[in-house]
């Protein structure tokens, strides 16, 4: 088995709220700093999740796309010997003339993907759409992002169309580059509950796999959520289309955060009102498991994913919004978990440090521009991005050395009773 690689990722969300677009590349300043790529090279990472985003490059007609930004950045990555994993849509809904529930969106994205492949035929790996299930939930079920749906029908439509777009995008890419890899990413969540809500937790734990199940052709007549998708308005023809689509990912990218695991509590008065919700039958609080029963951790969830799909896995986002010390503990713990999984024979090929230049306003799921910044490998609140302890840890791990830092002798806050 090849050695465990260190990758780096750049937070590049361009989400839409009403008629406003929140562009993380502009807000962190990476849009204007091509020299940032030299900092990524300094970490020793040989692969980077890098944006070639549809709505930034082709805001109008594809024929009038402005390729100047990705041209310069991808050329520099080539010079530095860094292999990009090209992201085409990252929590976005595409240019203003389409959306996640536009029936034309899959073909439009596929046309853009084909144009990217023709322009950069040396690219070997793609994530056409980042976290399609999570994006469908935030945009179609919870109403946070455009088109602000709050029902199963909008959620299911956004999910189906995104997965169809991934299939068509990869066909267009592979018409140019037959060996191009699909690295399909999704949040690696898990849900537990109080006893009366066990049925809802079971549903949540099945639904978390839907995007990957569709891509892998698993949503057949026996799938436990087939009837749910029917009730949400999806037809047999739409679902059966994926059975023969032949678009199993080459690598499953799992994104894991300390808040990825949830707990559903029927005791509403134990939790703030902002966490209160329901399913039409029962009311409950949806809260972070880490604050209640504790988290399962990365390793058991990756074992479950590998047992389900049998596909190599990369941790494609590993980030903690906290102090430098806790960020360092989180990254090294994730890396150690990946090593332990490899010892069990599970092909975890990489851990991705996320995000290189930090991010803005994820505390409110980027629904408001409050200017709250969380640093990543580099802190942009200096005249030039400044390397943090996390960046130095990535540099060590990329060279095969374990970071030697005093804080690593302590346990992260997510393991302490005071959490």
For 110-132, how does the pLDDT look when each residue is reduced to its tens digit (9 = 90+)? 999 999 999 999 999 999 999 99
pLDDT tens sequence across 249-283: 999 999 999 999 999 999 999 999 999 999 999 99
How many degrees, rounded to 5, is the angle at CA 106 between CA 102 and CA 112? Answer: 120
pLDDT band at 410 (very low <50, low <70, confident <90, very high): very high
The burial of 303, by beta-carbon neighbours within 10 Å (0-12 exposed, 13-18 middle, 19 or more buried), is given as: middle
How many degrees, rounded to 5, is the angle at CA 122 between CA 120 and CA 127? Answer: 75
Q: Give percent of the chain above pLDDT 70.
A: 100
Can you tell me the distance from the alpha carbon of 91 to that of 187, in angstroms, rounded to the nearest whole number? 12
Q: Which CATH superfamily is domain 5-208+247-257+310-415 in?
A: Glycosidases (3.20.20.80)
Contact by Cβ (8 Å): 392, 331: no
Can you tell me the distance from the alpha carbon of 379 to that of 85, in angstroms, rounded to the nearest whole number? 23
For residue 1, pLDDT over 70 is answered with: no
120: which 2 tokens? Answer: 């950069």
Instruction: Delimit the domains of the chain by residue range.
Output: 5-208+247-257+310-415
The burial of 330, by beta-carbon neighbours within 10 Å (0-12 exposed, 13-18 middle, 19 or more buried), is given as: buried
Q: Which residue has the higher pLDDT, 246 or 216?
A: 216
Can you tell me the distance from the alpha carbon of 251 to that of 306, in angstroms, rounded to the nearest whole number? 11
Mean pLDDT of the chain: 97
pLDDT of residue 225: 98
pLDDT of residue 120: 98
The predicted model gives 10-36 an average pLDDT of 98
pLDDT of residue 273: 94
For residue 72, pLDDT over 80 is answered with: yes
Encode 198-220: b = buried (16+ Cβ within 10 Å), e = exposed.
eebbebbbebbbbbbbbbbbbbe
pLDDT tens sequence across 194-212: 999 999 999 999 999 999 9
- What are the residue ranges of helices labelled H in 58-139? 68-80, 105-119, 132-136
Residues 6 or more apart whose CB falls under 8 angstroms from that of 240 comprise: 220
pLDDT tens sequence across 277-314: 999 999 999 999 999 999 999 999 999 999 999 999 99
pLDDT tens sequence across 142-161: 999 999 999 999 999 999 99
């Amino acid at each position: 088995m090849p050695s465990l690689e260190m990758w780096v990722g750049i937070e590049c969300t361009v989400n839409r709220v009403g008629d406003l677009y929140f562009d993380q590349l502009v807000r962190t300043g990476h849009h204007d700093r091509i020299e940032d790529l030299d900092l990524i090279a300094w970490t020793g990472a040989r692969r980077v999740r890098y944006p070639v985003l549809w709505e930034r490059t082709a805001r109008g007609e594809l024929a009038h796309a402005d390729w100047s930004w990705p041209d310069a950045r991808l050329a520099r990555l080539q010079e530095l010997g860094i292999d990009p994993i090209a992201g085409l849509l990252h929590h976005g809904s595409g240019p203003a003339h389409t959306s996640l529930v536009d029936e034309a969106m899959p073909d439009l994205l596929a046309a853009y993907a084909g144009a990217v492949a023709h322009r950069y035929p040396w690219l070997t790996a793609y994530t056409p759409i980042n976290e399609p299930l999570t994006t469908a939930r935030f945009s179609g079920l919870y109403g946070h992002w455009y088109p602000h749906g709050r029902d199963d029908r909008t959620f299911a439509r956004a999910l189906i169309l995104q997965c169809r777009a991934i299939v068509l995008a990869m066909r267009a890419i592979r018409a140019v580059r037959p060996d191009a890899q699909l690295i399909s990413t999704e949040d690696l969540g898990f849900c537990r509950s109080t006893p009366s809500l066990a049925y809802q937790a079971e549903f949540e734990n099945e639904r978390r796999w839907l995007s990957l199940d569709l891509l892998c052709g698993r949503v057949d007549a026996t799938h436990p959520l087939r009837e749910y998708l029917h009730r949400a308005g999806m037809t047999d023809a739409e679902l059966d289309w994926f059975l023969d689509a032949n678009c199993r990912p080459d690598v499953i990218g799992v994104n894991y955060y300390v808040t990825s695991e949830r707990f559903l509590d029927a005791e509403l008065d134990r939790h703030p009102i902002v966490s209160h919700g329901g399913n039409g039958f029962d009311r409950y609080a949806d809260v972070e498991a880490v604050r209640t029963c504790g988290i399962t951790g990365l390793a058991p969830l990756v074992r479950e994913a590998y047992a389900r799909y049998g596909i190599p896995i990369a941790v494609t986002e590993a980030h903690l919004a906290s102090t430098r010390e806790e960020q360092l503990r989180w990254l090294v713990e994730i890396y150690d978990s990946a090593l332990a999984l490899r010892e069990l024979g599970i092909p975890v090929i990489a851990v991705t440090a996320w995000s290189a230049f930090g991010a803005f306003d994820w505390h409110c799921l980027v629904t408001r521009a409050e200017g709250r910044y969380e640093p990543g490998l580099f802190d942009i609140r200096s005249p030039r991005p400044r390397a943090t302890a996390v960046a130095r840890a990535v540099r060590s791990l990329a060279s095969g050395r374990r970071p030697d830092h005093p804080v690593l002798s302590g346990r992260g806050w997510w393991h302490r009773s005071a959490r």
